[in-house]
Amino acid sequence: MVEGADTHENFDVIVKEGWIEKRSKYVKEWRQRWLVLTPRFLCSFKKQQDYRSAPTEKINLRMCSTVKSAEDELNRPTSFRVDTSARTYFFAAKDTAEKETWIGAIGRAMVRPTVMRTRSEEDLMDGL
């Protein structure tokens, strides 16, 4: 599933990647996935660094509203969630430190386009 209109990604710039568990949408089973964060997308793959194959999930970061711990909700200390208007995605890292690293990296990637756009707008207003 691809969420958001702009779906092309070339994986030239990878912010973070690694093995993680992702909860399936309908059966709610946890599946091992290679998670890749780029400046625009969060993608999961069945195999490590298999960027030529179609991702099992491709989430446009501009469509994300929040990323936060899901420990209380799932009773799983290493779990976190990524929310969009269409769906909530659940992930579980290997440990809590890795969970916090993923939450931080995804959160920064979510806000980065807004920060960059704001600076560009300021530059235009300053006549630069």
Tens of pLDDT, residue by residue over 72-119, are: 999 999 999 999 999 999 999 999 999 999 999 999 999 875 544 445
Query: Is residue 69 predicted with pLDDT exceeding 60?
Result: yes
Q: Is the pLDDT of residue 60 over 50?
A: yes
Dihedral-angle region of residue 48 (phi above 0 means left; psi in -120 to 50 means alpha; beta otherwise): beta
Please name the residues in contact with 15: beta carbons below 8 A apart, sequence gap of 6 or more.
Answer: 37, 38, 39, 105, 109
User: Average per-residue pLDDT in the chain?
Assistant: 85
Question: Mean pLDDT lowest for which of 41-45, 65-69, 118-122?
Answer: 118-122
> Domains in the chain and their CATH numbers?
11-125 (2.30.29.30)
pTM, entire model: 0.80
- Residue 38 pLDDT exceeds 80: yes
User: Residue 12 has what pLDDT?
Assistant: 81
Q: How far apart are CA 43 and CA 31, in angstroms?
A: 14
Range 51-67 average pLDDT: 92
Q: Give 57's contacts (C-beta < 8 A, 6+ positions apart).
A: 1, 22, 33, 42, 43, 44, 89
